[in-house]
Amino acid sequence: MEVFELILEKYNCQKRNKKPLYTIDQIESIIKFKLPYDYKTYIQNYFGFEEHIGQEYIRLWEFDELLETNKEFGIFDKLPNTLGIGGNGGGEFIAIEIVNSGNYRIILSPFIDLDRQYHIEIGTSFTDFLVRLDNGQQWFNENK
């Protein structure tokens, strides 16, 4: 079992029991980049997730709502190297951003002004993102 799966199991993330409406190939043809292995494994095998991990609340969008949600918020139009995958319930979205061929990072960015300059790296991979949260890392400095 992968590290990210152990974390998801710890927080009772529900395993998928039916096929998603879309395929990975359909998503990748729209976003024009390959999704990282760990995230592909997650979306093919788990339903969406809404819970605190460590100190932070996260909502990972269900595979079947990825395309519509990204279109609805304008993420595809304004951030072409980005796929929104969830939110934090506080006005920011969580996304996978391709930074160069084959290299990804997980970012947190505001929904209001979709501009790359506001991206905060919260993981170097989907697994790293979940490990950081599980270890209690916070996204924002509480003294600000």
Distances in Å between the Cα of 134 and the Cα atoms of 1, 32, 72 are 17, 31, 30
**For 99-131, how does the pLDDT look when each residue is reduced to its tens digit (9 = 90+)?**
887 799 999 999 988 999 999 999 999 999 999
Contact 58, 88 (CB under 8 A): yes
The overall average pLDDT reported for the chain is 91
The fold of the 3-134 domain, in CATH, is SMI1/KNR4-like (3.40.1580)
Q: Check pLDDT > 90 for residue 75.
A: yes
- Domain ranges, ordered by start, for the chain: 3-134
54/126 Cα distance (integer angstroms) = 16
